[in-house]
Amino acid sequence: MSLHSRRNGVERGFVDINCDLGESFGRWRAGDADDADLMPLISSANIAAGFHAGDPNLMDRTVKLAVDHGVGIGAHPGYRDLQGFGRRTIAGTTPEIINDVIYQVGALREFARRHGAVLRHVKPHGALYMEMAINSDLSQFFVQFMRKAAPNAFIYCMAGSETERLAREAGHPIVREFYADRDYDESGSIVFTRDQIRLDPAFVSEKVLRACKEGRVRAVTGRDINIEFESICFHSDTPGCFELASRMREVLVAGGIRIAPVSESTTP
């Protein structure tokens, strides 16, 4: 039985932990933790593909690092927005935006192939992820691309999003996410932010453990809401992310929850 096969009273099982990595560019470095230190703490890596962050040398290095640690490799395409780190919505037609996604996914997949690995998933980044969650036209084009180009690669998305709905209708495998280092509103959507503050690792860990055990999280309004997911996400540019991820992993393991990638047999 999947860890998240029901919302409340979740049986002990396992959960995937994913993180956005390779999010630097040239000599510029993002975040206060090294990807090499974060990689042993996760089971899936979302690797920046050059538009919001990342460059060919960094993509190659990050893919190899994931392969060396047995971590699932995912492409993390974003808006063409290096200056804004992909957290600004960029105007463009749906075909233009999807062509940018295709370009990035193809590049990352070739680096994975170079190191004898496969592209295991695709997770849109930042503002693009949020736009796809509510934009049925954009999500439809994205799912159609995935069905043709990567039919066995998971789409990482939010539960209740347009991305999830359309992927399900198309029969495409999905992984729903819970955001450890983000707040939720009462609709179950994350509260989007461009600048993240340092968080208390103990508080975040207990929030994550409760979400895994009970399938519930407290929204910014103070009300508890149900949440369904197969993977926990944290961000490498969150201040103190190494301490946060280390504590979170320790608490989950101590709570009887194993960290492992999602497989076809455990998706909803």
Confidence of residue 194 (pLDDT cuts 50, 70, 90): low
* Cβ–Cβ < 8 Å for 62, 24: no
Q: What confidence score (pLDDT) does residue 1 get?
A: 28
The superfamily CATH assigns to domain 14-266 is: Glycoside hydrolase/deacetylase (3.20.20.370)
Q: What is the reported pTM?
A: 0.90
d(CA 226, CA 50): 35
Mean pLDDT for 224-229 is 93
pLDDT tens, residue by residue, 130-174: 999 999 999 999 999 999 999 999 999 999 999 999 999 999 999
Mean pLDDT for 171-195 is 86
Half-sphere exposure at residue 268, Cβ-oriented, CA atoms within 13 angstroms: 24
For residue 3, pLDDT over 60 is answered with no
Is the torsion defined by CA of 29, 33, 39, 42 positive or negative? Answer: negative
- Phi/psi at 56 (nearest 5 deg)? -55, -45
Give the start-to-end residue ranges of the domains of the chain: 14-266
Q: What confidence score (pLDDT) does residue 254 get?
A: 92
- 241: enclosing H helix or E strand: helix 241-254
